[in-house]
Amino acid sequence: MNRIVLPALLLLAATPAMAAPGGAMWTVPQGRWTCELPGDATTPPTPRPEHNFSVVPDSSYVVGGMRGTYLLLGKKFTMTSGPFAGRRFDKVGLSLIKLGPDGKREALRCVRAGAVRDDYSAGDGEPTE
C-alpha cells in the first residue's frame, strides 16, 4: 500500500494551486491616487482629497502617514487593513470606482496621479517633495 500512497502524494504536491474565489490576484500601479466626483460637459470634477491614498510596495497603501494593505482579486479592489479598511472598488480601466455597502457603484472614482516616492513623512498620504 505504501507504494501506491507515496506516488499519489508526490503527484498531488506537483499540481498547481487552485485560483482564489473571485479571480486571479493582481496589484495596482504604485503611486499617488487622487479621488474625485466626476463632472460633466459644463462642470469640472470635484476633488475629494480626504479619499486620496498612495499605493506602495507589498500590496500596501499609505494615508495620513498610516499604512494599510489591499487585495485585488479579478477586478475587485478591497482595502483589507489600515485607515481605509473595508473600502471596496471596481477596477475599470485605469480607474477605481468606489462601491457602496450594497456592492453598487458610487460616483467617487480614484485615478493614479503620480509616481511613488519613499518619503511619506508629510503625514497626509502624499509624498513630500
pTM recorded for the entire structure: 0.72
Determine, yes or no, domain membership for 69. Answer: yes
- Among residues of the chain, what percentage have pLDDT more than 90? 68
Of residues 82 and 118, the one with the higher pLDDT is: 82
Spell out where 1-129 has E strands.
25-26, 31-37, 46-47, 53-56, 60-63, 66-73, 76-79, 88-92, 95-99, 105-114
Determine, yes or no, domain membership for 46. Answer: yes
Indicate the average pLDDT of the chain: 82
For the domain that residue 93 is a member of, what is the CATH number?
2.40.128
What is the domain extent for residue 78?
Answer: 20-114
For residue 123, the model assigns a pLDDT of 47
pLDDT in tens, 17-43: 445 566 788 999 999 999 999 999 999
For residue 116, the model assigns a pLDDT of 61
Determine, yes or no, domain membership for 38. Answer: yes
For residue 22, the model assigns a pLDDT of 65
Determine, yes or no, domain membership for 45. Answer: yes
Determine, yes or no, domain membership for 119. Answer: no
Q: How many residues does the chain have?
A: 129
- Look at the chain and report how many structural domains it folds into: 1
